[in-house]
Chains A and B, each alone.
Chain A
């Protein structure tokens, strides 16, 4: 199977959408397109597993390469390993949910779906790329769709949020770019390359590593909302339309986490060791800060946006620990949080469509009027606070277990502080969910219509994903552990 198919399907969908006129047809084509993409990736998963048993550990089982700019050593080199494949599966699931949730869009329908799919192309491309330039290219492809989705179909202070998001992300890209090119030019003449596989085999000087790591960390850290660079998240997520928030929190933030893993940690093992304690500290601060700020929120979307910062802190924490369990946890947290937060935003969108408010204090007793949606809200809330049996539990548990594999006081303290956030999470989630779903109903709320088929399908799809990971996490651990082991081995070797 060719990897180009993964990029081809969404591109074909866009081409088809351009030719269509009726908005009904646009929706159905997008739906079928995203379904086909999901099916394709599941097929890839099974094919990938069948390759797994026979061969020895080899980083990228599928690879494709065509020359792009031969004179500057830019090749369109793509390939997937377990981490990339699992993140692409996440993208396909979230994308499908996003298409289904957007069924009621009224203005500029065609443009809306084209931008959504363009955003997903950016994500697929980033996860697949094995060349730094290709990775950068796809990372930037996703910026304009985000900006336009927020500023055209968004709500609230949308101009401000869209500007803030686009400007911060481009600023982050500036750091990533500087890191990449300075790495290229600081390497000795014969070893210069942008190719990730080739770079992973060269021994990069310690000084170069520690300089470039910082630049790359700032860049991708901004994408994944690490503590001092998190400002774009709350505004961006809460002003975006429902599907936009789902993609932003579900996929876009994951690009940052993925970049930190694939570029920063994998290519610069020495620097990763050198800065591990700072990374851990930033992760722990993000977790606690996010959680504490979430407690103050009155708006459901802001609640989820700030809790995303807290949850994404676990990814950073896991990466800082540099043990295999913690890294597995970090990757699974990427996926689990992606699904969970997408579902959360989808549910918030559905509630908002009916109540026309997102303020927690103005809602009560929704369980009796819109039982399906309220049930989903309870489920996603429980997942967020890490109830066993759901995906959030698995990933955060793995990260914390990985933390305890390290003996020093610092690591213990970070782990204990981070674990405390789970209590805070329980406080804010239970308070919000109880207020919204339980209690008396206002008279006017009886008339809310129940969830439509598309909303039900979207929610069930994402809930199913949460339980599949929560009840049987082994398949995901198997999928990613080969590749996390490679990263850890490389770090141990460089010591």
Chain B
């Protein structure tokens, strides 16, 4: 066989997701030039791209590397990408009406695709340079998306905060990377993985890199941008930030800790414990006081991130599988909560927790969905959130750090309190309940998909086993 043919096949199969996204990105640029104006057509195109990604996900995932060993793909990475796209699809479902009426749909689609491409490349990167580039490719479009509603003051605040904090994080990351390069002479993950924690400079370089990801995951003390950005951005973007972008960052942090710096484990174990305790505590305590649903979800997602990194502390295959399992379940639970808030806020403009008093009497399906999502976030059975938290905390317990496990468990009390406050609010009676919200087919699809995943995923042990096998093959 000629060499060119040999090269092109793995290229096509390993990069299939990225190629489809890049292709449609170019397509949308062309359409923009020819001034296609129909939102419906554009969305149909976007949906067909999404469908193509999902269909190609079923091609048996083969592992391999590309571009002089800087890009890799394997079963686990395609699994993660598939789930990110499923989440993206659900976001499109919940916001179908909003997107149809969107004036800046071109900008939305192009920036969104760029961000998605960035996240996909991020997950596949095997070299710090590619990692840095893809991180930027994600951060800048998202910051731009935050100001999609140009006329809103809060939106510009959100966008500014987002771009400044992203730039700061990138700066820190670059500093860390350059120190690492100075110490090891290479930026390949493979070369770095044999690096020993020999000097305090090693520790400093690692901490700088860790801090950059702490920014992305909004771990304390790098969480300050989260609430304002969440509140100011359109809820569609907030959802994307909170689910897809967070999930992507969690996956890559996991890979960096486990595969790139395994020898730094004594350092990052302690780091994670401290950061996790602070993150959970601050996220939980601030979430109690919030009145706006977006700010509330911002702080509650901060607390959830604390649990995610607590699971990472296990440093075992079980830990990695538990984190990935939890992130997928967290994605579905968060999506349905955001979805209901999006449907309500886009129709009525109401975004306060108090507005949901008596919600149940007019909107039964939406209330049950919201309740199931919140119960799952709180980690109470029979929802999948229970299994996610359970496996995560079991992983965290594998180091037999009793106080830490009790801390994690007791903090579930706090989160239960604020999640349940909303659930109770909905069932109470109110003088001015929200109107009945009509659901279109897309929204219903999203709701049923999320409910089914939340209620069933936990009972399907196969799902977790599948993740664990992928992790072991990784």
The chain A residues found within 8 Å of chain B, CB to CB, are 67-72, 74, 108, 111, 133, 136-138, 140-141, 143-144, 147-148, 151-152, 159, 162-163, 166-167, 170-171, 173-175, 177-178, 181-182, 184-186
Least Cβ–Cβ distance between A19 and chain B, in angstroms: 14
Quick one: which of A70, A151, A174, A186 contacts B412, CB cutoff 8 A? Answer: A174
- How far is B461's CA from A220's CA once the two chains are assembled, in angstroms? 28
- A181→B381 contact, CB < 8 A: no
Please, how many residues of chain B have a CB less than 8 angstroms from a CB on the other chain?
Answer: 35
Determine the residue in chain B with the shortest Cβ distance to A162: B424
Known: A67-B461, A137-B381, A173-B409. A148 touches B424 (CB 8 A): yes
Main secondary structure of the interface of A (DSSP, over half): helix
Least Cβ–Cβ distance between B378 and chain A, in angstroms: 9
- B424→A159 contact, CB < 8 A: yes
Q: B405 on the interface (CB 8 Å rule)?
A: yes
Chain B 407-438 interface residues, beta-carbon cutoff 8 Å to A: 408-410, 412-413, 416-417, 420, 423-424, 427-428
- A178→B409 contact, CB < 8 A: yes
Least Cβ–Cβ distance between B304 and chain A, in angstroms: 16
- B406→A71 contact, CB < 8 A: no
- How far is B379's CA from A144's CA once the two chains are assembled, in angstroms? 11
- How far is B459's CA from A141's CA once the two chains are assembled, in angstroms? 14
Q: B318 on the interface (CB 8 Å rule)?
A: yes
Quick one: which of A111, A141, A173, A182 contacts B397, CB cutoff 8 A? Answer: A182
Known: A178-B397, A186-B400. A70 touches B461 (CB 8 A): yes
Quick one: which of B382, B409, B416, B428 contacts A166, CB cutoff 8 A? Answer: B416
Q: B465 on the interface (CB 8 Å rule)?
A: yes
- B398→A185 contact, CB < 8 A: yes
Quick one: which of B360, B398, B413, B461 contacts A171, CB cutoff 8 A? Answer: B413
Q: B99 on the interface (CB 8 Å rule)?
A: no
- B382 cross-chain contacts in A, Cβ below 8 A: 137, 141
Least Cβ–Cβ distance between B408 and chain A, in angstroms: 8
**Across the A-B interface, the 6 shortest Cβ-Cβ residue pairs:** A174-B409, A181-B397, A69-B461, A151-B424, A68-B461, A152-B427
- B461 cross-chain contacts in A, Cβ below 8 A: 67-70, 74
Residue among B321, B381, B410, B465 with most chain A CB within 10 A: B381
- B393 cross-chain contacts in A, Cβ below 8 A: 177, 181
Q: B390 on the interface (CB 8 Å rule)?
A: yes
- A148 cross-chain contacts in B, Cβ below 8 A: 423-424, 427
Least Cβ–Cβ distance between B419 and chain A, in angstroms: 10
- A178 cross-chain contacts in B, Cβ below 8 A: 397, 402, 405-406, 409
Determine the residue in chain B with the shortest Cβ distance to A110: B364
- A71→B468 contact, CB < 8 A: yes
- A173 cross-chain contacts in B, Cβ below 8 A: 409, 412
The chain B residues found within 8 Å of chain A, CB to CB, are 318, 321, 360, 375, 380-382, 386, 390-391, 393-394, 397-398, 400, 402, 405-406, 408-410, 412-413, 416-417, 420, 423-424, 427-428, 459, 461, 464-465, 468
Residue among A67, A70, A174 with most chain B CB within 10 A: A174
- A140→B402 contact, CB < 8 A: no
- How far is B405's CA from A162's CA once the two chains are assembled, in angstroms? 25
Main secondary structure of the interface of B (DSSP, over half): helix
- A184 cross-chain contacts in B, Cβ below 8 A: 394, 397
- A166→B420 contact, CB < 8 A: yes
- A166 cross-chain contacts in B, Cβ below 8 A: 416-417, 420
Determine the residue in chain A with the shortest Cβ distance to B404: A178
13 A–B pairs (Cβ distance < 8 Å), ordered by A:
A69-B391, A69-B465, A71-B465, A72-B318, A108-B427, A140-B381, A141-B382, A147-B424, A151-B424, A152-B424, A170-B413, A170-B416, A182-B402
Least Cβ–Cβ distance between A93 and chain B, in angstroms: 25
- B397 cross-chain contacts in A, Cβ below 8 A: 178, 181-182, 184-185
- B417→A167 contact, CB < 8 A: yes
- B413→A167 contact, CB < 8 A: yes
- How far is B465's CA from A71's CA once the two chains are assembled, in angstroms? 6
Least Cβ–Cβ distance between A290 and chain B, in angstroms: 25
Least Cβ–Cβ distance between A124 and chain B, in angstroms: 14
- B406 cross-chain contacts in A, Cβ below 8 A: 174-175, 178
- How far is B427's CA from A68's CA once the two chains are assembled, in angstroms? 34
Least Cβ–Cβ distance between B382 and chain A, in angstroms: 6
- A181 cross-chain contacts in B, Cβ below 8 A: 393-394, 397, 405
Residue among B318, B360, B391, B424 with most chain A CB within 10 A: B424
- A171 cross-chain contacts in B, Cβ below 8 A: 409-410, 413
Quick one: which of B402, B410, B464 contacts A71, CB cutoff 8 A? Answer: B464
Quick one: which of B386, B394, B424 contacts A137, CB cutoff 8 A? Answer: B386
- B420 cross-chain contacts in A, Cβ below 8 A: 144, 147, 163, 166
Known: A177-B393, A177-B409. A144 touches B318 (CB 8 A): no
- How far is B408's CA from A184's CA once the two chains are assembled, in angstroms? 17
- How far is B413's CA from A484's CA once the two chains are assembled, in angstroms? 34
Known A163-B420, A174-B406, A181-B393; further 9 A-B contacts with Cβ < 8 A? A69-B465, A147-B424, A151-B424, A162-B424, A166-B417, A171-B410, A174-B409, A174-B412, A186-B400
